[in-house]
Amino acid sequence: MESVLTHIIRTRDLVAGRGWSRPLPGLPFWKRALDLGLIVVFSPVLVSIGAFVALVIKLGSPGPVLFRQLRVGHKGQKFLCYKFRSMKVDAETDSHRGHTAHLMKSEVPMTKLDMEHDPRIIPFGTLLRCTGLDELPQLMNVLRGEMSIVGPRPCIPYEYESYETWQRKRFDAVPGLTGLWQVSGKNRTTFKQMINLDIEYSNRASLWLDLKIIFKTLPALVIQCYDVKIHHSEAEAANLKSEPVSLAKDADLASL
């Protein structure tokens, strides 16, 4: 828990103005004011939830509570992004790279690997991911001015390298925790639809639009968790149907 306390103290110092990073040029005053205002107002609740999530991770899986990863944000700038760890330590990444490449080249919904009972996920990791609680530490990135509460999701560098020129227009906006894509179907949309929604947000960004997206985020998360639950139920039902067939084959082989 030491590392968690360290980050909480660091966050407190950021709010107080100590160790402050210069906000990105793409952050207008109204957007920066909204970000800081929301964090200050909800900080007691956010810290309590964060501490509980940290405890769940620490008790359920060996390894650090926080996960840090290089991400690409505004205008292609790279920064260190924080998350609560929802996967096992040193989990392989080749499957994610292959899955992402497939989604980028096809017109299929952007379902996550953890919807398929991903073995890399720690206990309660799927719940953390579908509720968005794993992204709570990114409020530190918001305080540092590297992200905003509303904006396109920052991507991994190897994903950015595969983007076409027109698709990189989504990085004209500062990355965020929630956005127009997240409240417009997210995992039910295709990669191209995500790109178009992010570009649309970049062109239409305003205080009113940000507030609308924030109010729509909770219902969108509920729908996302429902989709995960339904998908898991369907996968379990399919497995149960296949088990009798496997048992019958084994019985036939045993009788030979």
Residue for token pair 């048992």:
247
Q: What is the pLDDT of residues 150-197, one digit of tens each?
A: 999 999 999 999 999 999 999 999 999 999 999 999 889 999 999 999
Delimit the domains of the chain by residue range. 2-251
Rounded distance, CA 26 to CA 130, Å?
29
Rounded distance, CA 44 to CA 126, Å?
25
Q: What is the pLDDT of residues 236-254, one digit of tens each?
A: 666 677 665 554 455 454 5
Strands 176-178 and 148-150: parallel
Q: How far is CA 210 from CA 32, 63, 152, 179, 228, in A?
A: 12, 36, 12, 8, 26
Rounded distance, CA 210 to CA 17, Å?
25
pTM: 0.83
